[in-house]
Structure 1
Amino acid sequence: MSRTDKGRRTKSERAERVQDWEADPTLDPTPILDAEREQGASIGRFNLAVVGGTGVGKSSLINAIFGKDSAPTGVGMPVTKGIDYHLNPDGSLGIWDFEGFEAGSAKSPEDHVAEGLGEIAAGPREQQIAVVWYCIQASSGRITENDIRLIRTFADKGLHVILVLTKVQRAKEGITGRWAPSGEAKQMLEFLQDPRDESGNLIDLPVSGTVMTAAVDQGKFGGPKHGLEDLLSQTLETSPEENQDALRVVQQLSLPLKRELAQRYINSAAASAMAIAATPIPFADAVALAPVQLTMMGKVAAAYRIDLKVVLSAQALAQLGVQYAGRAAARSIVKVIPGVGWIINAAVAGTITYVTGQSWMRLCEAVHTKKVNLDDIEQAWKDYGPSAQQVLKYYMKFARMSRNNSRPA
């Protein structure tokens, strides 16, 4: 056989292999749905208690951090007088709304709150409060004895309270041009930094932090909205660890918080793929990586609250799995990795899974921010897929990891 004929046959064999990878009837895309559903259930719900009277700006704060129409509206689930529970449409956010209490009641406001907290504590786990926002309008210029007693009531139940000053107006400093709190807000902040009564005695005010906020622009003489990122950060820091991922998912203010969660899933999947290929496998068996990759994609979708079953048909999901995982992912990526031949080792498996996850995360983020419609996801994937430079970069990274892991301790 001539060298030319041999070369033609080799090219023909490779073309047949490529066709086999593109048409992968053995690939089951259901792990992506299972993973999204199970991860969403595992993450659970974030429950926030919000305290403050009508007009203090609670709804604006909630909508600013958790997205439009997240604030309690209409009739919720009454617990006790002045306390209602509201769920957002997909059940990922619960709002305990502690309204003002009527004067002249047989029970004091703190007794009402204590009673309500007792009922909440005895209720289901998925309704337990993670953090309390105690909201006071900054223009009031003061915190009352009633506020202090209520804050202590929450703290006595082991809850973290963030004191939120709302509708804080600011003014530009003449020299620096920076925005600084003005008027009553500045006086209140100074008082809260060292709270003392009329006799000069230190007031026990058990709050985890104080945040000055304006959920909407305050106009030409009040400055732009502010303090929301600080409030979100303090809410995350003071939340129990078991509730933090739920907050990362449900909040709509910070994309980096969602990326942080999605990246965790990607790193875990890449490690699992490396373990599968610790003993190198033929490209024909790259489908063994598909469940890991599809599970990763489902978890990342859950981090961005994308319900794939609702927005994609069964046919589209099947095509999604065939196109983005297993042998198809290998075919599209390894061609830019020099010298790997037809065998998938740990470094190649880690690279394939990691860059697929990175691309899927970027695409989910584009869908989440409404830059891409899920109807266009098949075409959009080409725009969000990994570049050759990214593939090579991460291949070198995973190759080093693989060498280090193979060295004796």
Structure 2
Amino acid sequence: MQDVPGTHVVLEAEAEDNGTEAADDKEFHAFFDEVLKKMPVKSAGVILGALDQTKAQAEKVLGTSKERYEGIFDEFLVGVDPEVRKKSYTTIHAATLTAAIIGLSPIPFSDAILLVPVQTVMMSRLHKLFGRSWSESIGWTISKELVVVGFGRSIVGNLIKFIPGVGTLAGAAINGVVASGITATLGWVTVKMLNEGEDIFDNVLTFKGQFNSLYKTIQASNKKNKG
């Protein structure tokens, strides 16, 4: 039987895509399980109970924003080794999907602190990828301060006003778009600083400044897309 020209190339490409999807799915489940273990049992139960519905919604959120955000993050990551970048993407994708799931779960907005375990697990894995030391307690403190107090009040609270319907929802759940956007931005800022040899724990102000700068670009992109 004669081979059809290009068949092997197509099959190899499909196999590579399937392999990537399988790796991403495996990473997500491992990541998601680790995050749940760091949460209060009751909250973890609520998130797990709604997973079938929220995961599908979260994947749509990420799919919608992927192309728009990748262009922004690409400009922010000049000089990062392609292989390291690929592995970082797998970790950050698992984190953003988990964050979106939490954001879409029926949990009050006041429980935004539930995003902190997502950030700490993500940052821990990224530090390991770069061969850098990680302090769980310090990482948790920084994440809580920056994500919940700083970002939560100055950015999330403002963004909620721009998202139709969210401000009027009873219980005001964390929005999946905001949760995943914050997580992706935080993840890539972490990669950038680690790649440049900076110690995040010693440069919290720089870390926060770079986050705010990048997230303003994301926010502008979201508003432009709505317009």
Residue 276 of structure 1 aligns with which residue?
102
Hey, what's the Cα distance between the residues in 2 that align with 1:330 and 1:376?
22
Residue 201 of structure 1 aligns with which residue?
none
**What's the CA shift for 1:395?**
8.2
SS of aligned partner of 2:162: coil
Hey, what's the Cα distance between the residues in 1 that align with 2:223 and 2:182?
9
Hey, what's the Cα distance between the residues in 1 that align with 2:105 and 2:143?
25
**What's the CA shift for 1:304?**
1.1
Q: Deviations over 1:81-106 (max 9, x none)?
A: xxxxxxxxxxxxxxxxxxxxxxxxxx
Hey, what's the Cα distance between the residues in 2 that align with 1:325 and 1:348?
12
Is 1:349 matched with 2:179? yes
Hey, what's the Cα distance between the residues in 1 that align with 2:224 and 2:174?
15
**What's the CA shift for 1:366?**
2.2
**What's the CA shift for 1:331?**
2.7
| Structure 1 residues 267 and 254, CA gap change in structure 2 (3 angstroms) | closer
**What's the CA shift for 1:394?**
6.1
Hey, what's the Cα distance between the residues in 2 that align with 1:351 and 1:393?
11
If asked which structure has higher relative contact order (CA below 8 Å, sep 6+), I would say 2
Which structure features the higher share of strand residues? Answer: 1
Is 1:389 matched with 2:212? no
- Kindly indicate whether the alpha-carbon contact (under 8 Å) linking 2:120 and 2:139 is maintained by their aligned counterparts in 1: no
1:364 aligns with one of 172, 194, 216: 194
Hey, what's the Cα distance between the residues in 2 that align with 1:277 and 1:395?
19
| Structure 1 residues 344 and 396, CA gap change in structure 2 (3 angstroms) | farther
Hey, what's the Cα distance between the residues in 1 that align with 2:93 and 2:115?
14
Hey, what's the Cα distance between the residues in 2 that align with 1:279 and 1:374?
30
Hey, what's the Cα distance between the residues in 2 that align with 1:308 and 1:395?
36
Hey, what's the Cα distance between the residues in 2 that align with 1:364 and 1:383?
15
Q: Deviations over 1:358-379 (max 9, x none)?
A: 2222222222xxxx34563212
Residue 339 of structure 1 aligns with which residue?
162
Root mean square deviation, CA, Å: 3.4
Read off the aligned partner of 1:334 and give its amino acid letter.
V
Identity of aligned residues (%): 23
Larger radius of gyration: 1
Residue 113 of structure 2 aligns with which residue?
287
SS of aligned partner of 1:319: helix
Where structure 1 has 5 or more consecutive residues not aligned to the other structure, the ranges are 1-30, 36-252, 400-409
1:259 aligns with one of 85, 91, 107: 85
Hey, what's the Cα distance between the residues in 1 that align with 2:189 and 2:222?
13
2:144 aligns with one of 312, 316, 322: 322
- Kindly indicate whether the alpha-carbon contact (under 8 Å) linking 2:182 and 2:215 is maintained by their aligned counterparts in 1: no
**What's the CA shift for 1:323?**
2.3
| Structure 1 residues 275 and 319, CA gap change in structure 2 (3 angstroms) | closer
Q: Deviations over 1:280-310 (max 9, x none)?
A: 533211111211121111111111111124x
- Kindly indicate whether the alpha-carbon contact (under 8 Å) linking 1:280 and 1:345 is maintained by their aligned counterparts in 2: no
**What's the CA shift for 1:330?**
2.7
Q: Deviations over 1:330-379 (max 9, x none)?
A: 33432452434354122222122222212222222222xxxx34563212
**What's the CA shift for 1:254?**
6.3
Which structure features the higher share of helix residues? Answer: 2
- Kindly indicate whether the alpha-carbon contact (under 8 Å) linking 1:355 and 1:391 is maintained by their aligned counterparts in 2: no
| Structure 1 residues 362 and 288, CA gap change in structure 2 (3 angstroms) | same
SS of aligned partner of 1:281: coil
Hey, what's the Cα distance between the residues in 2 that align with 1:395 and 1:275?
22
Where structure 2 has 5 or more consecutive residues not aligned to the other structure, the ranges are 1-33, 39-78
**What's the CA shift for 1:320?**
1.6
| Structure 1 residues 283 and 392, CA gap change in structure 2 (3 angstroms) | farther
TM-score by length of 1: 0.30
